[in-house]
Structure 1
Amino acid sequence: MTRQFHRPARLDPEVAEAIEGGEDPAVASELAHRTAQALVGGFPEPAGAPGPESEPITRQGVVAVVAAHGVDAVAELWADSPATTLPGALWRLFLVREWLRRDPALIARRYAVVVDLTEAGPEALARLEAALVEARPAPSPEQLRAALDRVLDGEAGSGAPGLAPLLAATADFLRALTAGSDPVWIEEDTDELAHRVTRRPQALPATADELDEAARRATALDLD
């Protein structure tokens, strides 16, 4: 059985209390959305929100927690959110960023795809040229890591529409890794990054499809 993703608790008491309150599904969903919206920015900040003593969840507050403790201090709130929501999309970006941080050599090997065309005929070469014209270039691991850091550290603040290019670029990156090897993401249930997102069949292309849909929704102002 795939275990729930969990990192060592390094939370302020207020954030820890909010997560404990998240055991109620309705409160958990509200917390997930409010923290995601606050981190990304561009959403109105409500006068009150679920949290300790009904204090509002503000962008300044969430960014301060991330600066002090890392985004994993709030990311667990997003883990069960649907893929087509803002917290669900941020959870997938978080998993990719943690993977890039932990396994850079493995990812670099999977990214460095070499295609041998020495025996390819003219029809195969023509198909390749046509595919290259239509393809979106995948970012390098270093480029993607830097872009993910900016968003997940709360530096971007451009709102959901501004997140769309990163969602699409991450999808392209995951597909590039799949082309170079196989669709497996995390191989073992005991891995600290094991989660229903990372351990399912066809995990990389499935997540890429979800991120593309999230990017479409973000562009259409329908990702919240």
Structure 2
Amino acid sequence: MSLLFELPATPSVAVIGETARYPVRRVFCVGRNYAAHARELGNAVDREAPIWFNKAPAAICNSPAAIPYPPGTQDCHYEMELVVAIGAEGFEVSIDDAMSLVYGYACGIDLTRRDLQNAAKAKGYPWDTAKDFENAAVIAPITRAAAFGEPSEQRIALTKNGETKQDAPLSDMIWSIPELIADLSRLYHLAPGDLIYTGTPAGVGSVASGDRLEGRVDGLEPLVLEIAAA
């Protein structure tokens, strides 16, 4: 079979202690998974079901990185997140079995064009252009699950230019990792290469050219992102 043109290579993420990289198949994200973050943006805390949205694999940006300020926005925000890397197939898995699908974990940032998101929300439109754009899914190298352990009281934090902006325990999540995986597996046939960005704690804010972001989750490789000129 011949192709009219070649596409870029499949995005991939480094794995701590491995020479082989983790290829990215899909990127799933959950919104409003920390109550304090939902409240800081004036949103209701929805405990009926997780709120899902997607980013294209082309949005993957490997840390450490320096990226241009994103186009089409005057108010780009950082959202520090724990990322779950799926390593096994699963469909309609139970909460009790969900963790068997996990390959590893990583620090991530969900960059958001907040002005576009607010405009879309006001009209009842989808968030797509606010969430899915080049370099919008930042990720640090993956740590295997066995080396990290169970997500529980580890702290997730982000500094901007050395000042702490976000800091909370992972236990503040409304939906736990097993609950997120089980719910997502009702909607999709999960498979190796699927990443899940699990939501952000309170303290999100805007970035500007010249800013340096450093994100951490206890036990994982830190994330570093610098914002250059547009």
Q: TM-score range by the shorter chain?
A: under 0.3
* Larger Cα-atom Rg: 1
Normalising by the residue count of structure 2, what TM-score does the alignment of the two structures yield? Answer: 0.26
Normalising by the residue count of structure 1, what TM-score does the alignment of the two structures yield? Answer: 0.26
By percentage of residues, which structure has more helix?
A: 1
Higher relative contact order (CA 8 A, sep 6+): 2
